[in-house]
Structure formats: C-alpha cells, structure tokens
Amino acid sequence: MHPRMVLQRKWIRAVHRGDDAAVAQILAEEPVMSDVDTALQEAAMSGHDKVVAQLLTVANPRIADAKGCTALHYAVDSGHERVVEQLLAVSNLEMQTNTDQGGNVIHLAARRNHIKIMEQLLAVAPTAVVGAFDDHHSTALHEAAKSGHDEIVELLLAACPSLIDELDRRNRTALHYAVIMATRKWRSV
C-alpha cells in the first residue's frame, strides 16, 4: 500500500478515536493533510476537544461540508460544550449559515434543548443571528416553543425580545406554539 494511503488511514482512525497523541504525531510528519477541515468536523461532532485544539492550528473552522455544516454546527448539535467554547474562541466564526436541514447554530441549540450551549452562543451572537429565520421561516424561538423548551425560550427572549412578534410560514408566533404545547400537556394529565 502506498505510504500516503497508510498515513491517511492512520489519520482517519486517530481523529475518529480522539487519539490526540496520534493526531499530533501525524501532523508533525505531514502538517498539510488534505482533509483537516473534515477531520475538524468529525472531532467536533465526537466531542474530542484535545483533537479539536490541535486541528484548529491547521484547519479552517469556517469550512462547511456538503450539508452546509461547519465544525460549530456539529459541536452544537451533538451537545459538546467544551468544543463549542473552543470554536467560539476563533474570531469571525460564521454563525449565520443555515444547514440543509434548516437553521443556524442557534436553531440547533434550541431544537436540542442545549441550555449551556445556548448561553455560550448568545454571549457572542449578533442579534441578526439570534433573530434569523430557518428554511421554514421559523426563528429559534419558534423551535424552542414547539418543543416545550421553556429555559431556551427564556434565554432567547432575554437576548432578543422582538422575537415574540415574529411570524412563521403558518402565520404563527412562538406564543401560538407555547399555547399548543401547554394544551397538549394539560390534556395528557
């Protein structure tokens, strides 16, 4: 097998397992790996914060994959608070980008009810990102209200009170969804 192919296999295994020592060794041998951006996304999705720290020295965290997801999208979606913190420390990180599943990182945190991650994001996100619409013309507040994520609703309203008036494609505000959720809870009692 070609030496480059052997190194590539080692690289993939090391990143997938979160083996930061192996990643460091491979980067020392071959500092310009062709898929460092993909490796960063994999490490972020898996929560391998030590590998993420190493890859941030060579990878571009702003690069999105075919689904429109960056390393930050994967870390938020998977609930890896430490990795989110590392990625947010990178200046000018893109938070506005919607994935092909709709929504930016604020939407993802709202859907998954990742309270600590939402707090991290809101600490640095511009109002335009917090109030952005997804592909279904819903805000993160709509998403949180639909799912009954009360703490996320409170955080979003504290960060961007004007979200309460935004209408989605069905001409509903987040308050409409909150009432629907409350009615469902009441009926199940």
Q: What is the pLDDT of residue 183?
A: 80
Cα(37)–Cα(70) distance, rounded to whole angstroms? 9
Look at the pTM and tell me if it is higher than 0.85. Answer: yes
- Range in 50-64, 90-104, 148-162 the model is least confident about: 90-104
Q: Residue 105's pLDDT is what?
A: 95
Q: Where are the domains of the chain?
A: 1-94
Summarize pLDDT for 67-87 with one digit per residue, the tens.
999 999 999 999 999 999 999
Q: Render pLDDT for 158-181 as a digit per residue (tens, 0 to 9).
A: 999 999 999 999 999 999 999 988
Containing 133, the helix (H) or strand (E) segment is none
**Class in CATH terms, 1-94:** mainly alpha
